[in-house]
Structure 1
Amino acid sequence: MTPSASGLQKTLCIPVRKLAGFLATINPSRVREELRAKIIQYQNECDDALWNYWTKGSAKRSESPVSQPTQLDLPGDDQKPPQLTENERDLLNTIKRLDTGNRQLVAALKATNADYIALLESHVYLLQEYLEAKADASALNYTLKPQHAFRKKPQGQAFEGFSTTGDKGARI
């Protein structure tokens, strides 16, 4: 629920980790023209990342400036335009503080993202080892089970099979 002037409003939320999947489902023909190229580029990058992950075992994000969002630099303290009012200067200073904080967050997120990817890769490796060991144990267990050479005759009659001497058809 989100508070508003008219009271609490219901809000639809999506977990951040699901945002990439949601954005990949957007139909580019149904968005504004100025956003269409970015949506298509994003979806192509998602396709490439998924293809590389499933075929090569990992996906690395391209470092090309085209795919990286850029943040414009704000004017420095020495560049105070004289036409700004005191409120506008205060607002500009607040924006500069927020900009500095955002840049620090971006740097921290890059480091955290790299650590998180390494953690996920280690879990994938451990899971793969576990599944391979489980498959090997299952195969070994299957080969150790006694093989039954007997089959029951219809209507509950005697069993037919191989005797210990190897004679086929002996009644046991």
Structure 2
Amino acid sequence: MIDLKQAICDIKADQLNCVHFESLQWQQFYQGNNGLFEKVQHAKPTRAASQHLLGLLTKAHIESLSQIEAHRSSVAAMNQAFEQQLGKEHAANFHYQDGEQLVLVTHLWLYLQGYLNMDFSLANDHAEQTAATLVSLKGGDTQVIRTDFMASFYQGKNVTQQASETHGFIHWLKNLFR
């Protein structure tokens, strides 16, 4: 049985730009989810860790998105007050922790979907929905944020393809010497 951090490292998701194990977002994610990750591994030990991780990240994404949706109006009002009182430059210094958590979870979740060779269109739809939610709170460009999320999807896909190509070459080489 492995912990959540090891599962992230095993699929090489720790190479994502947004994954910093010492960051507050990672610490909160880890503390909130590692116990459940260990519990599901114990309950279904024959399943691959990546499958448990998919369930956990799906759950975390839904919960994080729901948390933000529940507080959307109060967060928008708070951001507006900061901008009016402090100006845009100083207001940008305040960080919305739930939003930052959603960004981390979304990158991990989409990376894993790519890693598992899941459907592009579903991943793209989730990336777009999440980007639109974040833009509604803090502003920005939905397409830029969606593209950034999808880069994680493709990074996961590339890791799997490289492993497959390496495995295929090694298999071919072994067959050559049989």
More relative contact order, 1 or 2 (CA 8 Å, 6+ apart)? 2
> How does the TM-score come out when normalised to structure 1?
0.30
Bigger helix fraction: 2
Q: Whose radius of gyration is greater, 1 or 2?
A: 1
Bigger strand fraction: 1
> How does the TM-score come out when normalised to structure 2?
0.30
